[in-house]
């Protein structure tokens, strides 16, 4: 059973990775922005977290550490904690770009490799990111 959990966690990590060639292709459409830090305006979201299951006995908690807005992009730095059988097994940080269209609908959530996690994560995790993206919009207005 522990091997299955380890394999599932390994598969989840692999889902976040992509080939170097894909990285170059995907980054070409995003301009370089200088981000405006709006932490004071979004203090109600700092330390906000959401949790989703990553399999039997596995859960991941995403806690907000920093939010920056620039036009239709919100960059959020998360502290991510992985729990296996309710015990903390790993802690790390990642930033995600939440990209909205002109009607303020979330179109993509890009990880550090510019991979859209809305296309790769399981449905429960995808729904958690979509719900969080709505909170980001509310905090900005």
| CATH code where residue 62 lies | 3.15.10
Least confident stretch, 26-35, 38-47, 123-132: 26-35
Number of separate domains in the chain: 1
**Given a cut of 90, is residue 67 above it in pLDDT?**
yes
Beta strand segments in the chain, E:
36-37, 49-55, 58-70, 73-84, 87-100, 106-110
**Given a cut of 50, is residue 59 above it in pLDDT?**
yes
Q: Give the span between the Cα atoms of 141 and 64, in whole angstroms.
A: 18
Q: What is the pLDDT of residue 138?
A: 85
| Nearest by Cα to 52 from 126, 130, 109, 2 | 126
Mean local confidence (pLDDT), 37-49 = 59
Please give the residue range of the domain that contains residue 126.
2-140
**Given a cut of 60, is residue 97 above it in pLDDT?**
yes
Q: Give the span between the Cα atoms of 101 and 126, in whole angstroms.
A: 18
Question: 106 falls in which pLDDT band (50, 70, 90)?
Answer: very high
Q: What pTM, to 2 d.p., does this model score? A: 0.67
Question: 34 falls in which pLDDT band (50, 70, 90)?
Answer: very low
The CB density around residue 29, as the number of other CB atoms within 10 Å, is 7
Q: What is the pLDDT of residue 22?
A: 37
């Amino acid at each position: 059973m522990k091997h299955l959990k380890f394999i599932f966690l390994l598969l989840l990590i692999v889902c976040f990775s992509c080939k170097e060639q894909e990285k170059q292709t995907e980054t070409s459409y995003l301009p370089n922005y200088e981000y405006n830090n709006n932490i004071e305006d979004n203090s109600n979201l700092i330390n906000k977290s959401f949790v989703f299951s990553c399999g039997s006995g596995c859960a991941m908690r995403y806690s907000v550490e920093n939010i920056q807005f620039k036009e239709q992009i919100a960059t959020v730095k998360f502290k991510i904690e992985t729990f296996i059988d309710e015990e903390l097994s790993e802690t790390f940080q990642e930033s995600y770009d939440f990209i909205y269209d002109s009607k303020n609908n979330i179109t993509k959530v890009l990880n550090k490799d510019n991979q859209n996690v809305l296309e790769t994560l399981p449905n429960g995790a995808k729904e958690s990111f979509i719900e969080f993206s709505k909170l980001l919009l509310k905090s900005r207005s």
